[in-house]
Structure 1
Amino acid sequence: MSTGTPIEVPWRVLPDYRCFGCSPSNEHGLRLSFTHSGDGIECVLRVDRTFESYPGVVHGGIATTVCDEIMGNLLVLKVGTSVFTTTLRTRYLSPLAVGVEYRCVATADDVDAPPYRAYAEITDPDGATCVTAVGTYQPATAAQARERMDLTDTEADLIESALADLRRGQ
Protein backbone atom coordinates (compact mmCIF):
# COMPACT_ATOMS: atom_id res chain seq x y z
CA MET A 1 0.00 0.00 0.00
CA SER A 2 0.96 3.62 -0.42
CA THR A 3 2.98 5.57 2.11
CA GLY A 4 0.83 8.57 1.24
CA THR A 5 3.68 11.09 0.95
CA PRO A 6 3.69 12.60 -2.55
CA ILE A 7 6.86 12.05 -4.55
CA GLU A 8 8.40 15.13 -6.10
CA VAL A 9 9.29 14.33 -9.70
CA PRO A 10 12.41 16.06 -11.08
CA TRP A 11 10.40 18.09 -13.61
CA ARG A 12 8.88 20.16 -10.79
CA VAL A 13 11.97 22.39 -10.89
CA LEU A 14 10.97 23.82 -14.28
CA PRO A 15 9.17 27.16 -14.06
CA ASP A 16 6.70 26.14 -16.79
CA TYR A 17 6.29 22.43 -15.94
CA ARG A 18 3.20 21.41 -17.98
CA CYS A 19 3.36 17.60 -18.25
CA PHE A 20 -0.01 16.28 -19.42
CA GLY A 21 0.30 13.34 -17.05
CA CYS A 22 1.75 14.69 -13.82
CA SER A 23 1.87 18.48 -13.72
CA PRO A 24 -0.45 19.85 -11.03
CA SER A 25 -0.65 23.13 -12.94
CA ASN A 26 -1.81 21.75 -16.30
CA GLU A 27 -5.56 22.40 -16.14
CA HIS A 28 -6.12 20.14 -19.18
CA GLY A 29 -3.98 17.28 -17.87
CA LEU A 30 -4.44 14.29 -15.60
CA ARG A 31 -2.57 15.85 -12.63
CA LEU A 32 -1.32 12.49 -11.37
CA SER A 33 0.48 12.49 -8.03
CA PHE A 34 2.73 9.56 -7.15
CA THR A 35 3.44 7.91 -3.80
CA HIS A 36 5.70 5.03 -2.81
CA SER A 37 4.18 1.55 -2.89
CA GLY A 38 6.41 -1.36 -1.93
CA ASP A 39 9.21 -1.50 -4.53
CA GLY A 40 7.28 0.73 -6.90
CA ILE A 41 5.07 3.78 -7.00
CA GLU A 42 1.35 4.30 -7.28
CA CYS A 43 -1.22 6.93 -8.09
CA VAL A 44 -4.95 7.31 -7.79
CA LEU A 45 -6.93 8.45 -10.79
CA ARG A 46 -10.47 9.57 -11.33
CA VAL A 47 -11.27 11.20 -14.63
CA ASP A 48 -14.27 13.19 -15.78
CA ARG A 49 -16.04 13.26 -19.12
CA THR A 50 -13.24 15.34 -20.61
CA PHE A 51 -11.41 12.05 -21.20
CA GLU A 52 -14.41 9.99 -22.29
CA SER A 53 -14.63 7.85 -25.43
CA TYR A 54 -17.94 5.99 -25.43
CA PRO A 55 -20.50 7.48 -23.03
CA GLY A 56 -19.34 6.82 -19.47
CA VAL A 57 -16.12 5.07 -20.58
CA VAL A 58 -12.61 6.49 -20.17
CA HIS A 59 -10.74 6.62 -23.48
CA GLY A 60 -8.28 3.72 -23.74
CA GLY A 61 -5.49 6.09 -24.69
CA ILE A 62 -5.87 7.82 -21.33
CA ALA A 63 -5.42 4.50 -19.51
CA THR A 64 -2.28 3.86 -21.58
CA THR A 65 -1.03 7.38 -20.84
CA VAL A 66 -1.45 6.79 -17.10
CA CYS A 67 0.53 3.54 -17.34
CA ASP A 68 3.31 5.10 -19.43
CA GLU A 69 3.50 8.11 -17.12
CA ILE A 70 3.82 6.09 -13.93
CA MET A 71 6.27 3.57 -15.41
CA GLY A 72 8.50 6.27 -16.89
CA ASN A 73 8.55 8.29 -13.67
CA LEU A 74 9.30 5.18 -11.62
CA LEU A 75 12.34 4.49 -13.76
CA VAL A 76 13.52 8.10 -13.61
CA LEU A 77 13.27 7.92 -9.81
CA LYS A 78 15.15 4.60 -9.71
CA VAL A 79 17.99 5.41 -12.14
CA GLY A 80 18.26 9.18 -11.72
CA THR A 81 18.25 9.99 -15.42
CA SER A 82 15.67 10.88 -18.03
CA VAL A 83 14.19 7.93 -19.90
CA PHE A 84 12.17 7.68 -23.09
CA THR A 85 9.61 5.02 -23.99
CA THR A 86 10.76 2.61 -26.69
CA THR A 87 7.95 0.04 -26.51
CA LEU A 88 4.63 -0.01 -24.73
CA ARG A 89 2.08 -2.82 -24.69
CA THR A 90 -1.28 -2.34 -23.00
CA ARG A 91 -3.89 -4.98 -22.27
CA TYR A 92 -7.44 -3.88 -21.49
CA LEU A 93 -9.31 -6.39 -19.33
CA SER A 94 -12.31 -4.20 -18.58
CA PRO A 95 -13.19 -0.59 -19.42
CA LEU A 96 -12.56 2.21 -16.95
CA ALA A 97 -15.68 4.15 -16.01
CA VAL A 98 -15.79 7.93 -15.90
CA GLY A 99 -15.95 9.27 -12.32
CA VAL A 100 -14.72 6.08 -10.63
CA GLU A 101 -11.53 6.10 -8.55
CA TYR A 102 -8.86 3.66 -9.76
CA ARG A 103 -5.41 2.80 -8.45
CA CYS A 104 -2.39 2.39 -10.71
CA VAL A 105 0.79 0.72 -9.46
CA ALA A 106 4.10 0.52 -11.31
CA THR A 107 7.03 -1.80 -10.66
CA ALA A 108 10.25 -2.41 -12.55
CA ASP A 109 12.71 -5.17 -13.29
CA ASP A 110 16.34 -4.79 -12.35
CA VAL A 111 17.65 -1.43 -13.48
CA ASP A 112 21.32 -2.39 -13.70
CA ALA A 113 21.50 -1.93 -17.48
CA PRO A 114 19.22 -0.56 -20.18
CA PRO A 115 16.85 -1.08 -21.74
CA TYR A 116 14.77 -0.86 -18.58
CA ARG A 117 11.48 -2.73 -18.28
CA ALA A 118 8.54 -1.59 -16.16
CA TYR A 119 5.03 -2.84 -15.46
CA ALA A 120 1.81 -1.08 -14.54
CA GLU A 121 -1.58 -2.27 -13.39
CA ILE A 122 -4.78 -0.27 -12.99
CA THR A 123 -7.27 -1.76 -10.53
CA ASP A 124 -10.84 -0.83 -9.68
CA PRO A 125 -12.17 -0.05 -6.17
CA ASP A 126 -12.71 -3.78 -5.54
CA GLY A 127 -9.10 -4.59 -6.49
CA ALA A 128 -9.96 -6.20 -9.83
CA THR A 129 -7.38 -5.63 -12.56
CA CYS A 130 -8.74 -3.52 -15.42
CA VAL A 131 -5.60 -2.61 -17.38
CA THR A 132 -2.05 -3.97 -17.49
CA ALA A 133 0.93 -2.55 -19.33
CA VAL A 134 4.56 -3.36 -19.91
CA GLY A 135 7.04 -0.90 -21.32
CA THR A 136 10.70 -0.66 -22.17
CA TYR A 137 12.62 2.56 -21.73
CA GLN A 138 16.00 3.89 -22.82
CA PRO A 139 17.99 6.35 -20.75
CA ALA A 140 18.87 9.69 -22.28
CA THR A 141 22.06 11.62 -21.70
CA ALA A 142 21.71 15.17 -20.46
CA ALA A 143 22.45 16.41 -24.00
CA GLN A 144 19.82 14.11 -25.54
CA ALA A 145 17.23 15.16 -22.97
CA ARG A 146 18.01 18.83 -23.58
CA GLU A 147 17.51 18.41 -27.33
CA ARG A 148 14.42 16.18 -27.16
CA MET A 149 12.72 18.34 -24.55
CA ASP A 150 13.76 21.60 -26.23
CA LEU A 151 15.19 22.93 -22.96
CA THR A 152 17.08 26.15 -22.45
CA ASP A 153 20.50 25.88 -20.81
CA THR A 154 18.98 27.07 -17.52
CA GLU A 155 16.17 24.49 -17.67
CA ALA A 156 18.61 21.70 -18.58
CA ASP A 157 20.81 22.66 -15.61
CA LEU A 158 17.79 22.66 -13.26
CA ILE A 159 16.70 19.18 -14.36
CA GLU A 160 20.23 17.79 -14.29
CA SER A 161 20.63 19.10 -10.74
CA ALA A 162 17.34 17.45 -9.67
CA LEU A 163 18.41 14.17 -11.32
CA ALA A 164 21.83 14.36 -9.64
CA ASP A 165 20.03 14.71 -6.29
CA LEU A 166 18.13 11.50 -7.10
CA ARG A 167 21.36 9.68 -7.94
CA ARG A 168 22.79 10.80 -4.59
CA GLY A 169 19.68 9.56 -2.82
CA GLN A 170 18.48 12.98 -1.71
Structure 2
Amino acid sequence: MKKIENPWRGMKGYHCFGCDPHSEQGLRMEFYEDGEEIVSVWHPRPEFQGWVDTLHGGIQATLADEISSWVVFRKFQTSGVTSRMEVRYHRPIHTTDERIVLRAAVRQQRRNLVEIGVRIFDGAGTLCTEATCLYFLFPKEKAREEFHFCDCSVADGEFDPLKA
Protein backbone atom coordinates (compact mmCIF):
# COMPACT_ATOMS: atom_id res chain seq x y z
CA MET A 1 0.00 0.00 0.00
CA LYS A 2 1.03 3.57 -0.55
CA LYS A 3 0.31 6.31 1.99
CA ILE A 4 -1.77 9.15 0.60
CA GLU A 5 -0.30 12.56 1.39
CA ASN A 6 -2.74 14.98 2.98
CA PRO A 7 -2.52 18.06 0.72
CA TRP A 8 -4.13 20.35 3.34
CA ARG A 9 -1.92 19.38 6.29
CA GLY A 10 -0.68 22.59 7.89
CA MET A 11 -2.94 24.88 5.81
CA LYS A 12 -4.30 27.87 7.72
CA GLY A 13 -7.99 27.37 8.54
CA TYR A 14 -7.91 23.61 7.92
CA HIS A 15 -9.81 21.88 10.76
CA CYS A 16 -11.51 18.87 9.15
CA PHE A 17 -13.22 16.68 11.76
CA GLY A 18 -12.38 13.59 9.70
CA CYS A 19 -8.81 14.01 8.53
CA ASP A 20 -7.04 16.88 10.31
CA PRO A 21 -4.17 15.06 12.04
CA HIS A 22 -4.04 17.76 14.75
CA SER A 23 -7.74 17.88 15.66
CA GLU A 24 -8.09 17.02 19.34
CA GLN A 25 -11.78 16.13 19.02
CA GLY A 26 -11.63 14.77 15.46
CA LEU A 27 -11.17 11.35 13.93
CA ARG A 28 -7.60 12.03 12.66
CA MET A 29 -7.97 9.53 9.81
CA GLU A 30 -5.10 8.61 7.48
CA PHE A 31 -5.48 6.97 4.09
CA TYR A 32 -3.65 4.48 1.89
CA GLU A 33 -4.05 3.39 -1.70
CA ASP A 34 -4.27 -0.36 -2.24
CA GLY A 35 -4.87 -0.88 -5.95
CA GLU A 36 -8.37 0.36 -6.71
CA GLU A 37 -9.25 0.69 -3.03
CA ILE A 38 -8.60 3.43 -0.52
CA VAL A 39 -7.92 2.04 2.96
CA SER A 40 -7.94 3.59 6.41
CA VAL A 41 -6.83 1.89 9.61
CA TRP A 42 -8.52 3.74 12.43
CA HIS A 43 -8.17 3.47 16.19
CA PRO A 44 -11.51 3.81 18.05
CA ARG A 45 -11.55 5.96 21.17
CA PRO A 46 -13.99 5.71 24.09
CA GLU A 47 -15.38 9.22 23.49
CA PHE A 48 -16.89 7.95 20.21
CA GLN A 49 -19.14 5.35 21.84
CA GLY A 50 -22.90 5.29 21.65
CA TRP A 51 -23.70 2.44 24.01
CA VAL A 52 -21.04 1.14 26.42
CA ASP A 53 -17.94 0.10 24.46
CA THR A 54 -19.89 0.33 21.18
CA LEU A 55 -18.89 2.69 18.38
CA HIS A 56 -21.67 5.20 17.72
CA GLY A 57 -23.50 4.66 14.42
CA GLY A 58 -23.14 8.33 13.51
CA ILE A 59 -19.37 8.06 13.89
CA GLN A 60 -19.39 5.00 11.62
CA ALA A 61 -21.34 7.00 9.03
CA THR A 62 -18.85 9.86 9.35
CA LEU A 63 -15.93 7.45 8.85
CA ALA A 64 -17.62 6.11 5.70
CA ASP A 65 -18.32 9.60 4.39
CA GLU A 66 -14.74 10.72 5.00
CA ILE A 67 -13.08 7.77 3.27
CA SER A 68 -15.46 8.29 0.34
CA SER A 69 -14.21 11.83 -0.07
CA TRP A 70 -10.64 10.52 -0.18
CA VAL A 71 -11.63 8.11 -2.94
CA VAL A 72 -12.74 11.20 -4.87
CA PHE A 73 -9.58 13.16 -4.04
CA ARG A 74 -7.22 10.39 -5.06
CA LYS A 75 -9.00 8.64 -7.93
CA PHE A 76 -10.50 11.74 -9.62
CA GLN A 77 -8.03 14.43 -8.46
CA THR A 78 -10.85 16.79 -7.55
CA SER A 79 -13.24 17.37 -4.68
CA GLY A 80 -17.00 17.20 -4.33
CA VAL A 81 -19.83 16.77 -1.90
CA THR A 82 -21.89 13.88 -0.60
CA SER A 83 -25.24 13.83 -2.37
CA ARG A 84 -26.70 10.72 -0.74
CA MET A 85 -25.56 8.09 1.71
CA GLU A 86 -26.99 4.76 2.83
CA VAL A 87 -25.52 2.85 5.75
CA ARG A 88 -26.24 -0.75 6.73
CA TYR A 89 -25.17 -1.82 10.21
CA HIS A 90 -24.66 -5.59 10.40
CA ARG A 91 -22.79 -6.02 13.69
CA PRO A 92 -21.57 -3.71 16.46
CA ILE A 93 -18.05 -2.35 16.40
CA HIS A 94 -16.43 -2.03 19.79
CA THR A 95 -14.49 1.00 20.95
CA THR A 96 -12.23 -1.46 22.78
CA ASP A 97 -10.93 -2.83 19.43
CA GLU A 98 -7.33 -1.80 18.87
CA ARG A 99 -8.19 -0.83 15.31
CA ILE A 100 -10.82 -1.10 12.63
CA VAL A 101 -10.23 -1.18 8.88
CA LEU A 102 -12.19 0.73 6.26
CA ARG A 103 -12.03 -0.09 2.55
CA ALA A 104 -13.67 2.00 -0.15
CA ALA A 105 -13.76 1.91 -3.94
CA VAL A 106 -15.62 3.37 -6.90
CA ARG A 107 -18.57 1.20 -7.92
CA GLN A 108 -19.75 3.27 -10.86
CA GLN A 109 -19.66 6.73 -12.38
CA ARG A 110 -22.37 8.55 -14.32
CA ARG A 111 -21.09 11.91 -15.55
CA ASN A 112 -20.30 13.92 -12.41
CA LEU A 113 -21.91 11.44 -9.98
CA VAL A 114 -19.79 8.69 -8.46
CA GLU A 115 -21.10 5.80 -6.38
CA ILE A 116 -18.60 4.64 -3.76
CA GLY A 117 -18.88 1.43 -1.75
CA VAL A 118 -17.46 1.37 1.77
CA ARG A 119 -16.89 -1.62 4.06
CA ILE A 120 -15.93 -1.35 7.73
CA PHE A 121 -14.33 -4.32 9.48
CA ASP A 122 -13.85 -4.75 13.23
CA GLY A 123 -10.58 -5.69 14.91
CA ALA A 124 -11.15 -9.39 14.16
CA GLY A 125 -11.68 -8.69 10.46
CA THR A 126 -15.46 -9.23 10.52
CA LEU A 127 -17.53 -7.08 8.17
CA CYS A 128 -19.69 -4.93 10.46
CA THR A 129 -20.90 -1.99 8.40
CA GLU A 130 -21.43 -1.23 4.72
CA ALA A 131 -22.19 2.13 3.15
CA THR A 132 -22.92 3.47 -0.28
CA CYS A 133 -22.07 7.11 -0.87
CA LEU A 134 -23.14 9.04 -3.92
CA TYR A 135 -20.71 11.87 -4.55
CA PHE A 136 -21.18 14.91 -6.76
CA LEU A 137 -17.81 15.77 -8.34
CA PHE A 138 -16.79 19.39 -8.77
CA PRO A 139 -15.09 20.45 -11.99
CA LYS A 140 -11.34 20.51 -11.32
CA GLU A 141 -11.15 24.30 -11.78
CA LYS A 142 -13.85 24.89 -9.16
CA ALA A 143 -12.16 22.45 -6.76
CA ARG A 144 -8.87 24.34 -7.11
CA GLU A 145 -10.26 27.88 -6.96
CA GLU A 146 -13.00 27.54 -4.34
CA PHE A 147 -11.87 24.61 -2.20
CA HIS A 148 -8.06 24.87 -2.34
CA PHE A 149 -7.76 21.43 -3.89
CA CYS A 150 -4.30 20.63 -5.12
CA ASP A 151 -2.64 17.38 -6.05
CA CYS A 152 -3.60 14.33 -3.99
CA SER A 153 -0.52 12.16 -4.35
CA VAL A 154 1.04 9.18 -2.60
CA ALA A 155 4.32 8.99 -0.71
CA ASP A 156 7.23 7.04 -2.11
CA GLY A 157 7.61 3.45 -0.98
CA GLU A 158 5.25 0.79 0.23
CA PHE A 159 3.73 0.85 3.70
CA ASP A 160 1.47 -1.63 5.46
CA PRO A 161 -0.61 0.12 8.13
CA LEU A 162 -1.96 -3.23 9.27
CA LYS A 163 1.50 -4.20 10.49
CA ALA A 164 2.41 -0.82 11.98
TM-score w.r.t. the length of structure 2 is 0.82
Q: Distance in 2 between matches of 1:130 and 1:145?
A: 36
Aligned length: 151
Aligned with 1:62 (options 59, 63, 72)? 59
Change (3 A) 1:95 1:145: farther
What SS is found at the alignment partner of 1:33? coil
In structure 1, what is the equivalent of residue 132 of structure 2?
134
> Structure 1 36/126 Cα, relative in aligned 2: closer, same or farther at 3 Å?
same
Describe how 1:23-38 pairs up with structure 2 within 5 A: 23-38=20-35
Per-residue deviation, residues 127-148 of structure 1 (Å, max 9, x unmatched): 210000001111224557866x
Alpha-carbon RMSD across the aligned residues, in angstroms, is 2.2
Partner AA of 2:55 in structure 1: V
Q: Percent identity, aligned pairs only?
A: 29
**8 Å contact kept, 1:45–1:102:** yes
The answer on 1:109 being equivalent to 2:119 is: no
1:12 aligns with 2:5: no
Q: Secondary structure at the match of 2:128?
A: strand
Alpha-carbon contact 2:100-2:120 (below 8 Å) kept: yes
Shift in alpha-carbon separation, 1:25–1:42, aligned structure 2, 3 A: same
Structure 1 residue ranges, 4+ long, deviating more than 2 angstroms after superposition: 9-16, 109-113, 140-147
Shift of 1:78: 1.2
The structure with higher relative contact order (CA 8 Å, sep 6+) is: 2
Runs (5+) with no aligned partner, structure 1: 148-155
Q: 1:75, CA displacement in angstroms?
A: 1.1
